[in-house]
A and B are shown apart, each in its own frame.
Chain A
């Protein structure tokens, strides 16, 4: 189902720390997941994706972990920088379904 958030959870970290942002997805049939970064007043920006046949995928400073058993997704950001401050959304979909369903989002605040 779709998620509608009444507020955004916030994760506050210090510059240089590793950040972990979590997402619980809703549809057990979903087989493709994307993490987006959204800065204030801008559209979502693709960060990393993962298919359901994988448990882990790494990019540059980012890692996505997928646990299908508990329908959980996480985004790990290594050596977090002030420029990483934004709202992060997970999105899910499944093969043959064009639409994306977005999670509630998490605001990441990085202090220098």
Chain B
């Protein structure tokens, strides 16, 4: 259970185009989804927190007009990289939470497999 998928797994696009990445919770309803970015040999950096039916909350330094997040349903969040440039090339990872604290007292995040974006 608690499987999260991402589509596509990789994408190559030309500079200036927009790319949409989907994050789906396959067997549970996710009240909250997170989007992370990971550059080569670096850690995961949180970009934004997305709650179903409301606007995403972006981390400091992340441009909300460039990285559009839509969380239209309890099983789907999308990240659109608008007017992508080579510096946006990265590994984008989403995670989803059930919204119910487990025995740890923490809302466990279930991670997707990631999407490799390469902007030429």
Contacts and interface: CB of A to CB of B under 8 A. Distances in A.
Interface residues of A, number: 28
A67 interface: no
Contacts of A45: 111
Interface string A1-42: 011111110000000000000000000000010001000011
For the side of the interface on B, what is the size category?
20 to 34
A69 B97 CA distance: 30
Nearest to B93: A43
Nearest to A46: B108
Interface string B18-60: 0000000000000010100000011111100100000000000
A36 B109 CA distance: 11
B45 A4 contact: yes
A45 B43 CA distance: 14
Nearest to B40: A8
Interface of A is mostly: loop
B43 A7 contact: no
Interface of B: 4, 6, 32, 34, 41-46, 49, 91, 93, 95, 97, 104-109, 111-114, 116
Given A8-B41, A102-B45, 12 more contacts: A7-B41, A32-B104, A32-B106, A41-B114, A43-B4, A46-B108, A49-B106, A98-B32, A99-B34, A100-B34, A100-B46, A101-B46
Which 8 pairs between the two chains have the least Cβ-Cβ distance? A43-B111, A102-B43, A102-B44, A43-B113, A43-B114, A44-B111, A32-B106, A8-B41
